[in-house]
Each structure stands twice: as structure tokens, then as C-alpha cells.
Structure 1
Amino acid sequence: MNAFSKAAPLLILALTAACEAPPEPGADGLPGVPVEMSEDLIAQLAPGQNLENVRLLPEDGCYWYQWAGPVETTYLPLRTREGRLICVRSPEQANIGMTDAEAAAQGST
């Protein structure tokens, strides 16, 4: 047995363990619930986010948009011009309404 044959199962296990499970699909097979964006909400968004397929994920109460990259298509959280998540839950929950740096700082206190 060569070295690759011995290492292959471990490599596969490591690669699959690093993958995060996708959000639960909605009735249409896509994650979350499709939503239409209001003009007020669109005015708050950072540029460069695709608004053709925006979803509201019940797991976190945040809006996500479909991003098509060169290798994969995935959902990314919608963000304001300041980099904040756009969510419908109250700010007391989790890190909703904070930048990633603010959430990290709050978690360390």
C-alpha cells in the first residue's frame, strides 16, 4: 500500500469536517425564505451585493444574497455600507447589528 492510499481517508475526513452544513432549504429547495427588498432597505446596502435573489434565514433572522463566484454559488449576508448585518431580530440577540470586530470584542468581555 502506498502513502497516498493510507492518507486518503484522513484527507477526505479532514476536508469534509471543514465544510459547514448549508442552511436548511425552504419550500423551493433554497435556504430561507425569499423576500423583496424595500427601497429604504436598499438605500442602506453596501454596493456590489446581488439583490436578484435575497433570502431571509430563520436561523439568524438576517438577510442573505446569492453570490456566484468562479467556483461556487453560495449565500452571503447582506451588509450595510458600514459593514453591519441586516437582520429583523432585536439587537439584544447574538451579534445582529454589529460588525464582526464588534461582536468579537463583545465576546471577549
Structure 2
Amino acid sequence: MYKQSAIFLLTVLALGACSETFSNSQDASSRPPLPENIVELAAPNQDLATAYLRPEDNCYWYMHAGPVETTPLPLRTAGGNPICIKPAT
């Protein structure tokens, strides 16, 4: 039983290493540059190189590289408000 569990665990780990990570699927080089006014609004300590406009909510998001995983977070002003745009009507 122990041997089967070990083989299963190794198989899962090996296959998991082959998958594409979330951060690699959203390449920052394929995104248009941020408008200058958005750069001025953004608070420090946010990775503006990975920032992008998410069409679902019309807000800017960036990829935060944490110690364990890379997570999308809303781009915020120095006051803590999310940076969003009004949709064109």
C-alpha cells in the first residue's frame, strides 16, 4: 500500500511540474503600456510592469509575486482605492 501511494504521489508531482503557471500565461510583454495618468495614481510597491486592464470590471490589476505564489491584485492608489475606468457608453 505504501509503495502504491508513493508512486501515485510522484506521478502527481511530475505531472504538476509540466503545467503552465498562471503568471506565465499572462505575459507582461504582450500587454500595452499603462497610461501615464494611471502610473501617477498608483501607490508605490506595486509591480506596474505586470499591470493590465481587466475587461470584466474595468479595473487595473497587477501580478503580486509572493513567497509562495503569484497572485493578481487590484492596482490601488496611495489612499487604498482601486484604480478603475468608466466604461464607454
* TM-score, with structure 1 as normaliser: 0.49
CA-to-aligned-CA distance 1:62-108 (integer Å, 9 cap, x gap) = 00001100000011000011111111126xxxxxxxxxxxxxxxxxx
Alignment counterpart, residue 75 of structure 2, candidates 74, 78, 101? 78
Question: Does structure 2 conserve the Cα–Cα contact (< 8 Å) formed by 1:67 and 1:76?
Answer: yes
Does the Cα contact within 8 Å between 1:35 and 1:54 map onto a contact in 2? Answer: no
Q: Tell me what 1:46 maps to.
A: 43
Alignment match, 1:16 = none
Residue number in structure 1 paired with 2:14: none
Please identify runs of 4+ aligned residues in structure 1 that moved more than 3 A. none
Shift, 1:50, TM fit: 0.3
Structure 1: how far apart are the matches of 2:31 and 2:85?
14
What pairs up with 1:88-107 in 2 under 5 angstroms? 88-89=85-86
Of Structure 1 and Structure 2, the greater helix share is in 2
TM-score where L is the length of structure 2: 0.59
Shift of 1:36: 1.4
Aligned equivalents of 2:73, 2:55: Cα separation in 1: 15
CA distance in 2, matches of 1:36, 1:87: 16
Counterparts of 2:63 and 2:25, CA distance in 1:
14
Q: Which amino acid aligns with 2:84?
A: C
Q: Percent identity?
A: 45
SS at match of 1:66: strand
For each residue in 1:15-56, what CA deviation from the matched residue of structure 2 results, as whole angstroms up to 9, or x when unmatched?
A: xxxxxxxxxx9xx943xx934112222111111000111111
